[in-house]
Structure 1
Protein backbone atom coordinates (compact mmCIF):
# COMPACT_ATOMS: atom_id res chain seq x y z
CA UNK A 1 0.00 0.00 0.00
CA UNK A 2 1.48 3.32 -1.03
CA UNK A 3 1.37 6.34 1.25
CA UNK A 4 2.54 9.93 0.85
CA UNK A 5 5.70 9.46 2.88
CA UNK A 6 8.67 7.16 2.60
CA UNK A 7 11.24 5.73 5.01
CA UNK A 8 13.50 8.80 4.80
CA UNK A 9 10.75 11.35 5.58
CA UNK A 10 10.10 12.79 9.01
CA UNK A 11 6.45 12.22 9.94
CA UNK A 12 4.66 14.65 12.22
CA UNK A 13 0.99 14.00 12.97
CA UNK A 14 -1.08 15.78 15.58
CA UNK A 15 -3.71 14.14 17.77
CA UNK A 16 -6.37 12.50 15.61
CA UNK A 17 -4.35 12.82 12.40
CA UNK A 18 -3.48 9.86 10.19
CA UNK A 19 -5.36 7.45 7.94
CA UNK A 20 -8.65 6.62 9.65
CA UNK A 21 -10.55 3.33 9.27
CA UNK A 22 -13.99 2.89 10.82
CA UNK A 23 -14.74 -0.64 12.00
CA UNK A 24 -18.13 -0.49 13.67
CA UNK A 25 -17.59 0.62 17.28
CA UNK A 26 -13.81 0.51 16.75
CA UNK A 27 -11.70 3.10 14.90
CA UNK A 28 -8.13 2.63 13.70
CA UNK A 29 -5.88 5.60 12.89
CA UNK A 30 -2.66 4.64 11.10
CA UNK A 31 0.32 6.86 11.73
CA UNK A 32 3.02 4.98 9.75
CA UNK A 33 3.25 1.73 7.80
CA UNK A 34 5.15 -0.12 5.04
CA UNK A 35 6.92 2.33 2.73
CA UNK A 36 7.06 4.93 5.53
CA UNK A 37 9.09 2.53 7.72
CA UNK A 38 10.81 0.35 5.10
CA UNK A 39 8.34 -2.35 6.27
CA UNK A 40 10.04 -2.51 9.70
CA UNK A 41 6.91 -1.66 11.71
CA UNK A 42 3.39 -0.28 11.58
CA UNK A 43 2.03 2.22 14.12
CA UNK A 44 -1.66 2.81 14.71
CA UNK A 45 -4.12 3.93 17.34
CA UNK A 46 -7.14 1.73 18.09
CA UNK A 47 -10.12 3.43 19.73
CA UNK A 48 -13.06 1.51 21.16
CA UNK A 49 -16.42 2.94 22.08
CA UNK A 50 -17.77 2.12 25.56
CA UNK A 51 -18.83 -1.51 26.10
CA UNK A 52 -17.66 -2.71 22.70
CA UNK A 53 -15.80 -5.66 21.26
CA UNK A 54 -12.56 -5.55 19.31
CA UNK A 55 -11.53 -7.53 16.25
CA UNK A 56 -12.15 -11.02 17.63
CA UNK A 57 -9.58 -13.58 18.76
CA UNK A 58 -6.80 -14.05 16.20
CA UNK A 59 -3.06 -14.51 15.85
CA UNK A 60 -0.31 -13.31 13.53
CA UNK A 61 2.10 -15.96 12.31
CA UNK A 62 5.11 -13.70 11.79
CA UNK A 63 4.36 -10.47 13.61
CA UNK A 64 4.88 -9.32 17.18
CA UNK A 65 2.51 -6.69 18.52
CA UNK A 66 3.17 -4.05 21.14
CA UNK A 67 0.28 -2.25 22.81
CA UNK A 68 0.47 0.86 24.97
CA UNK A 69 -2.56 2.19 26.83
CA UNK A 70 -3.55 5.69 25.69
CA UNK A 71 -6.85 6.27 27.46
CA UNK A 72 -9.27 4.36 29.64
CA UNK A 73 -8.94 0.62 30.19
CA UNK A 74 -8.86 -1.97 27.40
CA UNK A 75 -9.21 -5.66 28.25
CA UNK A 76 -6.68 -7.58 26.14
CA UNK A 77 -6.81 -11.34 25.65
CA UNK A 78 -3.33 -12.92 25.59
CA UNK A 79 -3.53 -16.67 25.07
CA UNK A 80 -6.30 -17.66 27.48
CA UNK A 81 -5.93 -14.77 29.95
CA UNK A 82 -7.55 -11.31 29.89
CA UNK A 83 -5.29 -8.43 31.00
CA UNK A 84 -6.48 -4.89 31.73
CA UNK A 85 -4.36 -2.37 29.86
CA UNK A 86 -4.78 1.06 31.41
CA UNK A 87 -3.26 4.37 30.32
CA UNK A 88 0.52 4.01 30.42
CA UNK A 89 0.55 0.19 30.45
CA UNK A 90 2.95 -1.56 28.03
CA UNK A 91 2.14 -5.02 26.63
CA UNK A 92 4.12 -7.10 24.12
CA UNK A 93 2.41 -10.04 22.40
CA UNK A 94 4.76 -12.38 20.50
CA UNK A 95 3.92 -13.84 17.09
CA UNK A 96 1.69 -16.94 17.05
CA UNK A 97 -0.11 -15.86 20.27
CA UNK A 98 -3.92 -15.76 20.24
CA UNK A 99 -5.11 -12.29 21.24
CA UNK A 100 -8.09 -9.96 21.15
CA UNK A 101 -9.20 -6.76 22.86
CA UNK A 102 -12.42 -5.17 24.07
CA UNK A 103 -13.64 -2.16 26.00
CA UNK A 104 -15.68 -3.40 28.96
CA UNK A 105 -16.06 0.05 30.52
CA UNK A 106 -18.55 2.90 30.14
CA UNK A 107 -15.91 5.25 28.68
CA UNK A 108 -14.05 5.42 25.38
CA UNK A 109 -10.67 3.65 25.49
CA UNK A 110 -7.62 3.60 23.24
CA UNK A 111 -4.43 1.70 22.53
CA UNK A 112 -1.30 2.58 20.59
CA UNK A 113 -0.19 -0.43 18.51
CA UNK A 114 3.19 -1.31 17.03
CA UNK A 115 2.98 -4.20 14.54
CA UNK A 116 6.43 -5.65 13.79
CA UNK A 117 7.36 -6.02 10.95
CA UNK A 118 4.99 -3.61 9.22
CA UNK A 119 2.41 -4.01 6.51
CA UNK A 120 -0.73 -4.40 8.61
CA UNK A 121 -2.52 -1.46 7.01
CA UNK A 122 -2.87 -3.31 3.71
CA UNK A 123 -5.47 -5.49 5.53
CA UNK A 124 -7.61 -2.55 6.57
CA UNK A 125 -9.86 -2.25 3.48
CA UNK A 126 -11.00 -5.87 3.87
CA UNK A 127 -11.40 -5.45 7.66
CA UNK A 128 -13.55 -2.33 7.16
CA UNK A 129 -15.65 -4.20 4.58
CA UNK A 130 -16.13 -7.13 6.98
CA UNK A 131 -17.38 -4.79 9.72
CA UNK A 132 -19.72 -3.02 7.26
CA UNK A 133 -21.23 -6.35 6.20
CA UNK A 134 -21.44 -7.93 9.67
CA UNK A 135 -22.54 -5.14 12.01
Structure 2
Protein backbone atom coordinates (compact mmCIF):
# COMPACT_ATOMS: atom_id res chain seq x y z
CA UNK A 1 0.00 0.00 0.00
CA UNK A 2 2.86 2.39 0.82
CA UNK A 3 4.44 1.76 -2.58
CA UNK A 4 1.16 2.58 -4.33
CA UNK A 5 0.85 5.83 -2.33
CA UNK A 6 4.43 6.82 -3.20
CA UNK A 7 3.85 6.12 -6.89
CA UNK A 8 0.62 8.10 -6.82
CA UNK A 9 2.40 11.08 -5.16
CA UNK A 10 5.19 10.88 -7.73
CA UNK A 11 2.63 10.86 -10.54
CA UNK A 12 0.81 13.89 -9.11
CA UNK A 13 4.10 15.79 -8.72
CA UNK A 14 5.10 15.04 -12.32
CA UNK A 15 1.68 16.04 -13.61
CA UNK A 16 1.77 19.32 -11.71
CA UNK A 17 5.31 20.12 -12.84
CA UNK A 18 4.29 19.80 -16.50
CA UNK A 19 1.13 21.86 -16.12
CA UNK A 20 2.75 25.26 -15.51
CA UNK A 21 0.48 27.97 -16.85
CA UNK A 22 2.36 31.17 -17.65
CA UNK A 23 0.26 34.32 -17.94
CA UNK A 24 3.14 36.38 -19.35
CA UNK A 25 3.66 37.20 -23.03
CA UNK A 26 7.02 38.49 -24.23
CA UNK A 27 8.68 39.32 -27.52
CA UNK A 28 10.69 36.20 -28.45
CA UNK A 29 13.21 36.71 -31.25
CA UNK A 30 16.88 36.60 -32.17
CA UNK A 31 17.54 39.34 -34.72
CA UNK A 32 20.38 41.56 -35.90
CA UNK A 33 18.35 44.76 -35.48
CA UNK A 34 15.81 45.50 -32.76
CA UNK A 35 13.36 46.90 -35.33
CA UNK A 36 13.13 43.42 -36.93
CA UNK A 37 11.51 42.05 -33.74
CA UNK A 38 7.98 42.99 -34.79
CA UNK A 39 4.60 42.35 -33.15
CA UNK A 40 4.44 38.86 -34.69
CA UNK A 41 7.13 37.87 -32.18
CA UNK A 42 4.95 38.75 -29.18
CA UNK A 43 4.03 35.28 -27.91
CA UNK A 44 2.87 33.69 -24.65
CA UNK A 45 5.78 32.31 -22.65
CA UNK A 46 6.18 28.54 -23.01
CA UNK A 47 4.67 26.36 -20.29
CA UNK A 48 7.79 24.20 -19.88
CA UNK A 49 8.81 26.21 -16.79
CA UNK A 50 7.72 29.27 -14.81
CA UNK A 51 8.62 32.68 -16.24
CA UNK A 52 8.07 36.01 -14.48
CA UNK A 53 10.06 38.48 -16.60
CA UNK A 54 10.59 39.50 -20.20
CA UNK A 55 14.25 39.81 -21.16
CA UNK A 56 16.17 41.73 -23.79
CA UNK A 57 19.83 40.96 -24.43
CA UNK A 58 21.76 43.31 -26.71
CA UNK A 59 25.21 42.19 -27.85
CA UNK A 60 27.95 43.50 -30.06
CA UNK A 61 31.27 41.78 -30.69
CA UNK A 62 34.60 43.49 -31.34
CA UNK A 63 34.33 42.58 -35.04
CA UNK A 64 31.12 44.67 -35.26
CA UNK A 65 28.53 41.89 -35.36
CA UNK A 66 25.49 42.75 -33.29
CA UNK A 67 22.23 41.08 -32.39
CA UNK A 68 19.25 41.35 -30.09
CA UNK A 69 17.73 38.37 -28.29
CA UNK A 70 14.35 38.70 -26.62
CA UNK A 71 12.44 36.13 -24.66
CA UNK A 72 10.97 34.96 -21.39
CA UNK A 73 13.07 34.77 -18.23
CA UNK A 74 12.92 33.96 -14.55
CA UNK A 75 14.14 36.56 -12.07
CA UNK A 76 16.77 37.55 -11.31
CA UNK A 77 17.63 37.74 -14.98
CA UNK A 78 19.99 40.67 -15.03
CA UNK A 79 23.22 41.28 -13.17
CA UNK A 80 24.14 44.12 -10.85
CA UNK A 81 26.68 46.65 -12.21
CA UNK A 82 29.31 45.09 -9.93
CA UNK A 83 28.64 41.58 -11.29
CA UNK A 84 28.75 42.89 -14.85
CA UNK A 85 32.10 44.58 -14.19
CA UNK A 86 33.57 41.42 -12.64
CA UNK A 87 32.57 39.43 -15.75
CA UNK A 88 33.89 42.07 -18.14
CA UNK A 89 30.42 42.89 -19.44
CA UNK A 90 29.94 46.46 -20.61
CA UNK A 91 26.66 48.17 -21.23
CA UNK A 92 28.21 51.16 -22.95
CA UNK A 93 26.76 51.30 -26.45
CA UNK A 94 29.71 53.39 -27.64
CA UNK A 95 32.17 50.63 -26.61
CA UNK A 96 33.67 48.37 -29.30
CA UNK A 97 31.93 45.36 -27.67
CA UNK A 98 29.15 44.97 -25.11
CA UNK A 99 26.72 42.41 -23.72
CA UNK A 100 23.73 43.96 -21.96
CA UNK A 101 20.74 42.27 -20.35
CA UNK A 102 17.58 44.11 -19.30
CA UNK A 103 14.45 42.68 -17.74
CA UNK A 104 10.93 43.90 -17.10
CA UNK A 105 7.76 42.48 -15.53
CA UNK A 106 4.79 43.31 -17.77
CA UNK A 107 3.60 41.41 -20.84
CA UNK A 108 5.15 42.84 -24.00
CA UNK A 109 7.46 45.18 -22.09
CA UNK A 110 10.56 43.98 -23.97
CA UNK A 111 9.28 45.25 -27.32
CA UNK A 112 9.77 48.63 -28.90
CA UNK A 113 11.82 50.22 -31.65
CA UNK A 114 15.23 51.10 -30.28
CA UNK A 115 17.16 48.83 -27.95
CA UNK A 116 17.69 51.79 -25.66
CA UNK A 117 13.93 51.89 -25.04
CA UNK A 118 14.36 48.87 -22.73
CA UNK A 119 16.88 50.69 -20.57
CA UNK A 120 16.03 52.34 -17.26
CA UNK A 121 15.59 56.09 -17.80
CA UNK A 122 19.02 57.26 -16.45
CA UNK A 123 20.84 54.70 -18.64
CA UNK A 124 18.68 55.61 -21.63
CA UNK A 125 19.61 59.29 -21.26
CA UNK A 126 23.29 58.41 -20.80
CA UNK A 127 23.32 56.15 -23.88
CA UNK A 128 21.74 58.94 -25.95
CA UNK A 129 24.12 61.65 -24.71
CA UNK A 130 27.38 59.65 -24.90
CA UNK A 131 27.82 59.97 -28.70
CA UNK A 132 27.18 63.73 -28.43
CA UNK A 133 29.55 64.38 -25.53
CA UNK A 134 32.48 62.18 -26.61
CA UNK A 135 33.60 64.46 -29.50
CA UNK A 136 33.66 67.41 -27.07
CA UNK A 137 35.76 65.45 -24.60
CA UNK A 138 38.25 64.57 -27.34
CA UNK A 139 38.42 68.21 -28.48
CA UNK A 140 38.93 69.54 -24.97
CA UNK A 141 41.56 66.93 -24.02
CA UNK A 142 44.09 66.78 -26.87
Please state which band the TM-score falls in when normalised by the shorter chain: under 0.3
Greater share of helix residues, 1 or 2? Answer: 2
TM-score (ref. length: structure 2): 0.24
Question: Normalization by structure 1: what TM-score?
Answer: 0.25
**More contact order relative to length (CA 8 Å, sep ≥ 6):** 1
